[in-house]
Structure 1
C-alpha cells in the first residue's frame, strides 16, 4: 500500500507543481520527511519507558491519524481527488 501512495504523491507533485519549482518542492519534501525521522527515534524510547510500549504505539497511531485528518481538511488539499485542480502548463505559475 505504501508504494501506491508514493506513486500517487509523485504523480500529483509532477502534475501540480510548476516545472520551475519542482526541484525546490521535491527538496523540501525530502528534507521534511528525513528530518523528522531522527526526532521520532529520539522520542520513542523515553516515551515508551514512561508510558509503556503498547501505549506508545497506540498514541503514535492516534497522533498520526489526527494529523493526517487535520491536513485533509485544509482548503484545497483534496481538490486533486475531486478533479477541481486547475491544470497548469509546465513552467507557468
Structure 2
C-alpha cells in the first residue's frame, strides 16, 4: 500500500496547499514547509481515512508521525485497513 499511500497523500497535500505535487517530497515538513496547523492536520487525516480506507487511532499518533510526509506515510502503512 506504500505507493498508493504516498501518491494519495501527495495529491491531497498539493490540493490543500495549492502546490504542484512534484514540489512535495518525503522530506517535506507539514508545519515548517507547508504552514499546516492542527486543524489542517485533522482535515488531512480525514481525507486519508476516506480515500485509503484506514482508521487512525489517535492514541497511537505521535508528534514524530507528523514531522514529514515520509513519517506520516510510515504511520499510515502501520494502520489496519477497514
The structure whose residues are more often helix, as a share, is: 1
When Rg is computed on C-alpha atoms for both structures, the one with the higher figure is 1
Normalising by the residue count of structure 1, what TM-score does the alignment of the two structures yield? 0.28
Structure with the larger RCO, 1 or 2 (CA within 8 Å, 6+ apart): 1
